[in-house]
């Protein structure tokens, strides 16, 4: 199976570039301000995976930020899910983010593939994109379209509302966020 992986931040306040045709005054998206009493984070980190076979997006939000430990949890979840579908190997295309090329991730991938060879499951083959070439990752335009689709021009979305809208837009299940574990 072929797939594309990337992480993104969905801001609750800054608005994406958006074009619209109107008969009246032009639509203006104004960056919202956080209220002091707002308990939600300003932005939500999200791991995403775009399946080349079905075009389906799989999302996992993060309670924190993308780091190697969270990446390992995401990969374990993704590969387990694909193994349950009967997939034997995943060729995953991703960029050179520091948490992708870390020693912890490289060591985990090698150990995972040895375990799969002995016990079965879904192997992981990684193809890194050249630096500064996001246009080569097919998931990038999906992020832009998702941000534009869920935006509210005149109000701030709560974190849960933003997560639900994104999962509805991408047609995927809203799962518990991956916890930020500190070793």
- Residue 52: pLDDT band (50, 70, 90) is very high
**Two tokens, residue 38:** 């707002």
Q: Render pLDDT for 128-149 as a digit per residue (tens, 0 to 9).
A: 999 888 889 999 999 988 888 8
pLDDT at 27: 58
The answer on pLDDT for 21 being more than 90 is no
**Two tokens, residue 98:** 């520091």
What is the percentage of the chain residues whose pLDDT exceeds 90?
61
Domain extents for the chain?
Answer: 2-14+41-179
The answer on pLDDT for 174 being more than 60 is yes
The answer on pLDDT for 30 being more than 80 is no
Strands 2-11, 43-51: pairing is antiparallel
The whole-angstrom separation of Cα 90 and Cα 113 is: 11
Q: Render pLDDT for 60-116 as a digit per residue (tens, 0 to 9).
A: 999 888 999 999 999 999 999 999 999 999 999 999 888 999 999 999 999 999 999
Residue with tokens 């060879």: 117
Buried b (16+ CB within 10 A) or exposed e, 38-74: eeeeebbbbbbbbbeeeeebbbbbbeeebbbbbbbbb
**Two tokens, residue 156:** 């701030």
The whole-angstrom separation of Cα 94 and Cα 151 is: 26
Question: Residues 77, 60: contact at Cβ < 8 Å?
Answer: yes
pLDDT at 28: 58
Strand order in the sheet with 43-51: 123-128, 89-94, 2-11, 43-51, 57-63, 178-179
> What is the CATH code for 2-14+41-179?
3.30.420.10
């Amino acid at each position: 199976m072929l797939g594309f992986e990337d992480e993104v931040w969905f801001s609750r306040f800054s608005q994406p570039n958006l074009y619209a045709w109107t008969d009246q005054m032009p639509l203006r998206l104004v960056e919202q301000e956080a209220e002091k009493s707002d308990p939600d984070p300003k932005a939500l980190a999200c791991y995403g995976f775009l399946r080349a076979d079905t075009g389906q997006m799989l999302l996992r939000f993060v309670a924190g930020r993308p780091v190697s430990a969270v990446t390992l949890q995401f990969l374990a979840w993704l590969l387990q899910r694909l193994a349950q579908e009967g997939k034997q190997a995943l060729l995953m295309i991703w960029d050179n983010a520091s948490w992708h090329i870390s020693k912890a991730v490289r060591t985990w991938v090698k150990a995972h593939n040895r375990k799969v060879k002995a016990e079965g499951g879904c192997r992981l083959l990684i193809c890194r994109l050249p630096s500064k070439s996001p246009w080569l990752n097919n998931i990038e335009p999906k992020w832009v379209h998702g941000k534009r689709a869920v935006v509210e021009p005149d109000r701030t979305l709560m974190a849960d509302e933003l997560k639900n809208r994104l999962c509805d837009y991408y047609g995927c299940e809203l799962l518990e966020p991956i916890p930020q574990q500190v070793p």
